[in-house]
Amino acid sequence: MKTDFVIDVAGVTKRFGAKTVVNGIDLQVERGEIFGFLGPNGSGKTTFIRMLCGLLTPDGGSGTCLGHDILTEQPLIKREVGYMTQRFSYYEDMSIRENLDFIARIYAVPDREEAVQRSLEQLRLQNRSHQLAGELSGGWKQRLALAACLIHKPLLLLLDEPTAGVDPKARRGFWDEIHRLSTEGITVLVTTHYMDEAERCHRIACLAYGNLLVRGTVDEVVSSAGLATWSVAGPDLGTLVGALRGQAGVEQVVPFGNTIHVSGSDAASLEATLARLCAPGQEFTRTVSGLEDVFISLMDRAKDNFG
């Protein structure tokens, strides 16, 4: 049966020496989908992306990216993917236009001058086209990097923490552009540490120590975690925070402005602990667990792959 999966891999594994950094990951991503990868540093996100785009060869597993075999057709994948690395990797002593022209030459883009101008206009860079890349702020460097990723009209974008160190306004503009590209049928796999960005993805997956822990829509991931959360309001919450840590049923205690959020997987035990420790005037009410609560809980339960 024909499928519309742009990424369709199973059991993808990568080892460096005795350490397994990606451990048997299965993943299917549909055309036009924005798929988010969440995980701490060292979780295997970048290594997995580099295997998808043909820069690394898996030690195990199989599958396709853009219909090409990830083991045997890596050169074909590279030509159809736009890969945005964590670090800005363009020439800082060249202008925006010169950088885009250079990338267009590498990909042998037809009608190169027209393609460069189109990329400048698409990312609203035309008024800065002669500015040196090294003089750009983080947000404008981000736009240049995305323009360079798009100049050869890829069908898949692999974005590795693309908004790290970028101000909130630039981040929002970047994500508006990603959603626009998605409506045009471009598929996006993006790694991020920001929960608000993860919530803008169609689906997400959480990784830790090379293992895929959970995947689905944000609502599916939150509901599957089975995490109970209470919000506590009232006086002297700082003292309560210290008293709650390590108590039965308490897995997380997090200040939230004038309240604290207390979470755990054993709802009955946690509620009993709150009833016992909350002082007069401190009130606790059940609330919906957020993605960040679930993410931290998953990371706490994950097994480290060192040692």
pLDDT of 307 strictly over 50: no
5-222 CATH, one of 3.90.1570.10, 3.10.50.40, 3.40.50.300, 3.40.1190.10: 3.40.50.300
Cross-strand partners of 156 = 81, 187
With 80 as the cut, is the pLDDT of residue 165 above it? no
Q: Which CATH code is given to the segment(s) 228-288? A: 3.30.70
Q: Once rounded to an integer, what is the mean pLDDT over residues 292-306? A: 78
- pLDDT value of position 277: 95
Predicted pLDDT at 3: 57
Looking at residue 304, what is its pLDDT? 59
Q: Domain-by-domain residue ranges, the chain?
A: 5-222, 228-288
Confidence grade of residue 142 (pLDDT, cut at 50, 70, 90): confident
Residue 1 has a pLDDT of 34
The total of other beta-carbon atoms located within 10 Å of residue 276's CB is 10
Mean pLDDT of the chain: 91
Confidence of residue 2 (pLDDT cuts 50, 70, 90): very low
